[in-house]
Amino acid sequence: MRCPFCLSRNTRVVETRTGKDGFSIRRRRECLSCGRRFTTFEKIDETMPMVVKKDGRREPYNREKLLTGIRKAFEKRPVSVERQEEIVDEVERYLLNLGEKEVPSRVIGEKVMELIREVDEVAYVRFASVYRQFKDISDFWEELKKLIKDEA
């Protein structure tokens, strides 16, 4: 393993733990050249399905793209980065369990909204406004009415 600070290959594992998701391994490493410590994660390399966009284009699944959208929805909300990453992990497990080679982006978006809604309703409305492309305040109002109705 190469040190991210000095690029030396002279590192050692200080500690190994199972990741929070139970499917990864977290390793704490120390560079024997510069003495700095860093963390690495090992995860099973599973092939994610291709994403079929609304216009028919196909693109590879991109974890970072999904995480960026979720982070924007949770911006300035009291939800940890770890919880946001857990949502992405849950979406990925869901996609892998579908067992499909291609998945419509709609399926991913609906699953993300379902998981966000369980965590924070404000983040849910933010994500929904982008995902469903709200045109004006009436679209927001309709979504808010659904939330209020479901809470009652």
pLDDT tens per residue, range 6-22: 999 999 999 999 877 77
Examine the domain organization and report whether 25 and 68 are in the same domain. no
**Is 85 found in the same domain as 23?**
no
Q: Which helix (H) or strand (E) holds 140?
A: helix 137-151
98-111: b or e for each residue (b if 16 or more CB lie within 10 Å)?
Answer: eeeeebebebbbeb
pTM of the model: 0.66
Q: Model confidence at 152, in pLDDT bands (50, 70, 90)?
A: low
**Contact by Cβ (8 Å): 50, 60:** yes
Extract the tokens encoding 71. 């982070």
Residue 6 counted as domain residue: no
Domain count, the chain: 2
**What range does the domain containing 147 cover?**
50-151
Confidence of residue 107 (pLDDT cuts 50, 70, 90): very high
Tell me if 90 is assigned to some domain: yes
Tokens, residue 66: 């999904």
Q: Does a structural domain hold residue 4? A: no
